Chain A
Amino acid sequence: MPTVTIDGKPYQAQLGETILQVARRGGIWIPTLCYHPAVEPYAACRICVVEIDRGGWWQVVTSCNYPIRRDLTVRVNSERAVRARRGVMELLLARCPESPELRAIAARMGVDGTPYPTVTEAQRNCILCGLCVRVCDERIGASAIARVGRGVERSVAAPFRMPSEDCIGCGACAEICPVGTIVVRMHEEEVEISPFKNRVKLKHCAECGRPIGSELVHKALADRGGPTLVELLATEQFCPRCKRKQLAKEICTRHALRDEPASRGA
């Protein structure tokens, strides 16, 4: 069992675990944005960087995907690591100055603003962490949204920036988005995933006619012989509004609709 020494304290680790997993277990906070245990690490936001000892020099690596293969010495709170994380946050704040979620994390990191002007048009608040795209692909299997464009022009959209026909309206993307960019809107007959303009028909309560959730999600769950929408929702005590969110969370983390089971620890 390798030992990971973080800021001078030793921690036991499993082979193949990431630095972030070990740190979290040890109660050490490292900010993350593009990381979520439900999906494969993507290491795009770079907010989780730490320093590791490479024998003679220190390398800055992303903790969320750096695999532990032998004993490792890590610095989370060194001057360089802190400066790097704050620098990344300042760039993100210039892109998405409005997001309260982002500002909260920034504050916790000791960043209270950004020296940079807003130089690029950004999809409202989106930090391009790619979580929505990955959950839709890896967990739902719908691949209804994708990253389009490159560089600062990049954004998340359904193919050709048109409403997606593959969207099943589960809301997993909205649930997983760390900065509240994606919103699920309930209309009379349809559920809409904004800003992608995806719309899916709603299933209604047989008794009172109130909407329960997306028809396609209901069908997908039934198809794989898992708990049905109604059963899933019945298991917990939530108000109708929160039920939908709760369901999305369930799908994100526990009940992948995609074939391969995602077997990743938190």
Chain B
Amino acid sequence: MSTVGTKFDSAEDLRQYRAHLLAQYDPAARRVRVCLGTGCTAKGSAKVMERFCRAAEEFGQESLVVQAKSTGCHGFCERGPIVVVDPGNVFYENVNEEDVPEIWRESVIGGRVVERLLYKDEASGETATTPKEIPFYSAQQRIVLAHNGVIDPTSIEEYVAGGGYAALAKVLGSKASRMEPEEVIEEVARSGLRGRGGGGFLTGRKWRSARDAHGQPKYTIANGDEGDPGAFMDRSLMEGDPHAVLEGMIIGAYAIGSSRGYVYVRNEYPMAVKHLTMAINAAREFGLLGQNILGSGFSFDVRINRGAGAFVCGESTALMASLEGRVGEPRAKYIHTVESGLDGKPSLLNNVETWANVPPIILNGADWFASFGTEKSKGTKVFSLVGKVKNTGLVEVPMGMTLRQIIFDIGGGIPDGKAFKAVQTGGPSGGCIPAECLDEPVDFDRLAELGSMMGSGGMIVMDEDTCMVHVARYFVAFLKDESCGKCTPCREGIAQMLDILTRITKGEGREGDIDTLETLGTLLEDTALCALGKTAAYPVLSTLRCFRDEYQTHIREKRCPAKECPGLFQYQIDVDLCTGCGVCRKKCPVQAITGERKKPHTIDWKTCTGCGTCFDVCPFSAVVKV
């Protein structure tokens, strides 16, 4: 059989290699896993990793195998940097450099738990040792993220040892057991998998069209452009489990008869590019990419392409134009890209997360996959949970879980005792879902019925202090900047909407503005060229549907009920809370505050400009918004 560095000539080779890796694996060996995902790295986990590596090096004791390794995102970014110690799967949160010696001495070498760095439940005060005991993790169902935080993404050996490329081996197995391309497509179709990139298109159906399309070569493409603000699902997958994406692509390429592939990665993701590059090189070396994969006669290779840095480049036709070296601008899709895409050839484009779902489906079967989720949305979905929620991070849940479960059970609810107001799903052109709908199940169709969408899985939680007009304006402003400007309605219409929303948030709204917004919304949906423009009004239309009175209060009473729009509410000093310390009086830039020392102060509304300095500086929270 092959050993490291030599090519696998058959699926059997791969199986034997895995057996060899597992035989070598010592479950008692001490291992430290440091998260090097986006969130943890931002909080300094690279330094933590460095300290552990040094400790491991200096620890020259032969009898004890000690390993420090980096992993992709664990998901619980709120509590990062995250460090996990094996054996025992002991989970430490908020670890900084100074904590390393203690963890090393006590936990790694001593096998004792460092209590103070464990997760502690706020309500009960109980600590959790392993992720399983933490509500954030226990309610999740990790299929796509199964390897994230567990394996070292730069090591193909770890991926293989964990069952990686077994799905590919199943597909391209020995002659007798090989799956025909049709069988692969059938399996994916039966699983009910739908595209995770936004549209929710049935993946099996797309593959079939790509297989049936005439023309060679056929292209297999992974969409890793991920331009939604705040989203990092695809990034975490590419960084944390790049082989899973590749394995999915190789299987898909075999199914449709494609020999060339591209991974289109957002330019701002250097670590994703690095890990994917390493994965591709390793896969080539092992004979999992390139000519005659696993001796099956099937050949396929992948190249990485860096995105052009625009949100619209994630749109399928713009992405393909960009791959061709042209301006990343959408074109009409009256002829689908599976028939005529990149270079006018049949092209199969799927989202990164869609691809990563393929290996588990092939390995465990369509029925297994379809056992998760709802009638028409199978499997799980990864969400990036951000905004006014305690546990921000990356979560993977079965389709059909309710918004309440995601936001409150996993997300831990709203911080600072505030009330939940709405959740925005689906990325910049998604919609806002109000509190009344918290018990709705999250799947493709239900979210659409609620006037929002699944999108790529962004979930932004908003509390009672959030002004919905302001929110709509924020997203419309984003889309205005990201519109490519090719077609009239999107280019001109979004700018007009933004103009109106800006006026409303400044208290300059007029009767008729709401009608105009709705007219523009319909116009965009009907006439814009690509989905960016077609859905650009959703943030406005969905907030108009559920929070119309908030718009009206802005327009008619020049008041912002959430007290977020500057100038549309007033600051007042609560006489019971004011101690007369005088800080606000001294800090007010326009001398609008008067009062004697140790006596309650007052704000003169005529002079006040609403800058909010007093609100920020009062040590007793005596300045309130009214």
A87-B519, A151-B481 known; A44 vs B488 contact (CB < 8 Å)? yes
Q: Which residue of A lies closest to B334 (CB)?
A: A66
Number of interface residues, chain A, beta carbon within 8 A: 35
Q: Which among A45, A46, A88, A154 is the interface contact of B485 at CB below 8 angstroms?
A: A154
Q: Which residues of B contact A46 (CB under 8 A)?
A: 487-489, 527-529
B310 to chain A, nearest CB (A): 7
A62-B332, A116-B496, A119-B495 known; A44 vs B527 contact (CB < 8 Å)? no
Q: Is the CB of A151 within 8 A of B332?
A: no
A-B contact pairs, 27 of them (CB 8 A): A43-B529, A46-B488, A46-B489, A46-B529, A47-B488, A60-B527, A61-B334, A62-B332, A66-B334, A67-B335, A84-B527, A88-B488, A88-B489, A88-B527, A91-B488, A91-B493, A128-B486, A150-B484, A150-B485, A151-B481, A151-B483, A151-B484, A151-B485, A151-B494, A151-B495, A152-B485, A153-B485
Question: Closest 8 A-B residue pairs measured CB to CB?
Answer: A154-B485, A91-B492, A87-B523, A151-B483, A60-B526, A46-B527, A119-B499, A151-B485
A17 to chain B, nearest CB (A): 13
Q: Is the CB of A44 within 8 A of B487?
A: yes
Q: Is the CB of B492 within 8 A of A95?
A: yes
Q: Which residues of B contact A65 (CB under 8 A)?
A: 332, 334
Q: Which residue of A lies closest to B495 (CB)?
A: A152
Q: Which residues of A contact B485 (CB under 8 A)?
A: 128, 147, 149-154
Q: Which residue of A lies closest to B523 (CB)?
A: A87
A44-B529, A49-B526, A60-B526 known; A91 vs B483 contact (CB < 8 Å)? no
Q: Which residue of A lies closest to B533 (CB)?
A: A46
Q: Which residue of A lies closest to B335 (CB)?
A: A67
Q: Hey, what's the 0/1 contact readout for A28-55 against B, CB within 8 Å counting as 1?
A: 0000000000000001111101000000
Q: Which residue of B lies closest to A117 (CB)?
A: B499
Interface residues of A in 131-159 (CB under 8 A from B): 147, 149-154
Q: Determine the distance from Cα of A153 to Cα of B480 in the docked complex, in whole angstroms.
A: 10
Given A44-B488, A151-B482: 19 more A-B contacts, CB < 8 Å: A44-B486, A62-B332, A65-B332, A66-B334, A67-B334, A88-B523, A91-B488, A91-B489, A92-B488, A94-B496, A116-B492, A120-B495, A127-B488, A150-B482, A151-B491, A152-B492, A153-B485, A154-B484, A154-B491
Q: Determine the distance from Cα of A158 to Cα of B332 in the docked complex, in whole angstroms.
A: 26
Q: Is the CB of B496 within 8 A of A80?
A: no
Q: Which residues of A contact B523 (CB under 8 A)?
A: 84, 87-88, 91
A65-B332, A128-B485 known; A84 vs B491 contact (CB < 8 Å)? no
Q: Which among B334, B483, B487, B526 is the interface contact of A80 at CB below 8 angstroms?
A: B526
Q: Determine the distance from Cα of A147 to Cα of B326 in the docked complex, in whole angstroms.
A: 12
Q: Determine the distance from Cα of A147 to Cα of B527 in the docked complex, in whole angstroms.
A: 21
Q: Determine the distance from Cα of A88 to Cα of B522 in the docked complex, in whole angstroms.
A: 11
Q: Which residues of B contact A152 (CB under 8 A)?
A: 480, 483, 485, 491-492, 495
Q: Which residues of B contact A225 (CB under 8 A)?
A: none
Describe B's contact surface by its main secondary structure. Answer: helix
Q: Determine the distance from Cα of A116 to Cα of B488 in the docked complex, in whole angstroms.
A: 14
Q: Hey, what's the 0/1 contact readout for B318-329 against A, CB within 8 Å counting as 1?
A: 000000000100
A20 to chain B, nearest CB (A): 13
- Whether B371 sits at the interface, judged by CB under 8 Å, is no
Q: Which residues of A contact B493 (CB under 8 A)?
A: 91
Q: Which residues of B contact A117 (CB under 8 A)?
A: 499
- Whether B292 sits at the interface, judged by CB under 8 Å, is no
A75 to chain B, nearest CB (A): 13
A145 to chain B, nearest CB (A): 13
Q: Which residues of A contact B519 (CB under 8 A)?
A: 87
Q: Determine the distance from Cα of A60 to Cα of B319 in the docked complex, in whole angstroms.
A: 24
- Whether B16 sits at the interface, judged by CB under 8 Å, is no
Q: Determine the distance from Cα of A45 to Cα of B527 in the docked complex, in whole angstroms.
A: 10
Q: Determine the distance from Cα of A172 to Cα of B55 in the docked complex, in whole angstroms.
A: 72
Q: Which residue of B lies closest to A60 (CB)?
A: B526
Q: Is the CB of B483 within 8 A of A150?
A: yes
Q: Which residues of B contact A62 (CB under 8 A)?
A: 332, 529
Q: Is the CB of A84 within 8 A of B526?
A: yes
Q: Which residues of A contact B516 (CB under 8 A)?
A: 115
Q: Hey, what's the 0/1 contact readout for A65-82 against B, CB within 8 Å counting as 1?
A: 111000000000000100
Q: Determine the distance from Cα of A67 to Cα of B327 in the docked complex, in whole angstroms.
A: 24
Q: Determine the distance from Cα of A61 to Cα of B487 in the docked complex, in whole angstroms.
A: 13
Q: Which residue of B lies closest to A122 (CB)?
A: B492
